[in-house]
Amino acid sequence: MSLAELSARRGVRLGGLGLLGAVALGGALVVLFDVPLGRIVTVGFVNRTLLAASPIALAAIGGLYAEKSGVFNIGLEGFMIFGAISAAAVLYGLGGTDPTQLHVWGAVVAAVAFSVALTAGYAVLLIRYRADQIVAGLAVWFMGLGFAPFAASLIWGTVRSPGLTRVTHYSLPYLVEFPVVGPILFRQSPFVVLTALLVAVSWVVLYRTRYGYWIQAAGDNPEALDTAGVNVNRVRYATVIFSGVMAGLGGAVLLAHAGNFIGTGDTMVDGRGWIAIVAYLFGNYNPLGAAAAALLFGGLDMLQVQFQTADIAVSGRLMGLAPYVGVIVVLTIWGKTRMPASVGEPYESED
């Protein structure tokens, strides 16, 4: 049995235990504290969780690809900020304060193209010039924190954009009438579906294709991959650029779901890039596990809204801490995630 299979089985077991723990906690809340669980876990809550989880899952998949190949992209938060502000700027440039759905998709494509250019330079710094991966990643984050409010002020005269528009959810006639699953599966944001597709494709590429094995070998045993005649750094360039593109797409999707850009504080990204890093660690570098972790964090994030919807008196500030408390708990429990053996180490072929 391969190491990947062992890790996957371990992840399934722990995931099952986590699910049982969540069910037990829910039962205890209902029985001991008379919490109306039926008013909390609703179709609306599930839909909001999916919307919140999709940007995190996208960034997490990108991050795990880079790290699987041996490069730690700690700049996911920064790339998400750049993705969100570039999408907002293009959306406003194309349609002003009344953009169409075509403009929304054009803005997302433009944000992805911008992320390709930005991440290509970042990859050169890390791989060609061997910049410190932690320092470079933090630099991207700080640049995003400074650039986004600055660009927003230049465009709109304030750090917040005016109300633009959100992506329209698709709705399939008749199918949407099915109880429970209908409003979740057949009336949904197209970006949630896109995220699910990318998660599935990422898993297939990583574990069922030769290129996926090259990525894993680049992070675990680059010398062997080099001996086999594969250019290790070329593989790493591809994964680092992919990670930045996925993070930029995550930021653009966040903007498309919110409908306007917020540049105050930590910007509207608000730590989701950091949570994405925890998500793929929690998922043990497996795209499916990372997506499941993103759902967990998305659900915790949406609890605040759901408690208000259900008219349950809980401090909003307290509930706002839920995703971050979840991160701390996950990091504490999941401290034994096995990192790729050569992550963070530059590689130079002896040829």
Q: What band does 153 get if pLDDT is binned at 50, 70 and 90?
A: very high
Burial per residue of 171-210, b for 16 or more beta-carbon CB atoms within 10 angstroms, e otherwise: eeeeebeeeeebbbebebbbbbeebeebbeebbeebbeee
Average pLDDT over residues 163-174: 92
Token digits of residue 75 = 């700049």
Is-contact 65 276, C-beta < 8 A?
A: no
Q: CA–CA separation, 76 vs 74, rounded Å?
A: 6
pLDDT at 42: 85
pLDDT at 244: 95
Q: Per mean pLDDT, which range of 11-20, 62-71, 289-298 is the poorest?
A: 11-20
What is the chain's alpha carbon radius of gyration, rounded to the nearest angstrom? Answer: 21
Is-contact 79 144, C-beta < 8 A?
A: yes
The string of pLDDT tens digits covering residues 38-60 is: 677 788 889 999 999 999 999 99
pLDDT at 36: 65
Is-contact 68 285, C-beta < 8 A?
A: yes
pLDDT at 26: 59
The string of pLDDT tens digits covering residues 97-111 is: 899 999 999 999 999
Find the farthest-apart pair of alpha carbons in the chain and give their distance in angstroms, rounded: 69
Q: Per mean pLDDT, which range of 17-26, 226-235, 298-307 is the poorest?
A: 17-26
pLDDT at 35: 61
Say whether pTM exceeds 0.85.
yes
Residue with more model confidence, 36 or 199: 199
Does position 241 have pLDDT exceeding 80, yes or no? yes
pLDDT at 314: 66
Does position 257 have pLDDT exceeding 50, yes or no? yes
Mean pLDDT over the full length of the chain: 86
pLDDT at 133: 93
Average pLDDT over residues 326-350: 75
Is-contact 76 247, C-beta < 8 A?
A: yes
pLDDT at 265: 86
Does position 342 have pLDDT exceeding 90, yes or no? no
Does position 4 have pLDDT exceeding 50, yes or no? no
Average pLDDT over residues 113-120: 96
Q: CA–CA separation, 9 vs 348, rounded Å?
A: 34
Q: Between vectors from CA 4 to CA 348 and to CA 291, what angle results, nearest 5°?
A: 100
pLDDT at 59: 97
296: left (phi over 0), alpha (psi -120 to 50) or beta: alpha
According to DSSP H, which parts of the chain are helical?
3-33, 37-40, 43-68, 76-95, 101-123, 133-156, 181-185, 190-208, 210-220, 222-227, 232-258, 272-282, 287-309, 316-320, 322-333
pLDDT at 78: 96
Does position 134 have pLDDT exceeding 50, yes or no? yes
Q: What band does 225 get if pLDDT is binned at 50, 70 and 90?
A: very high
Does position 247 have pLDDT exceeding 70, yes or no? yes
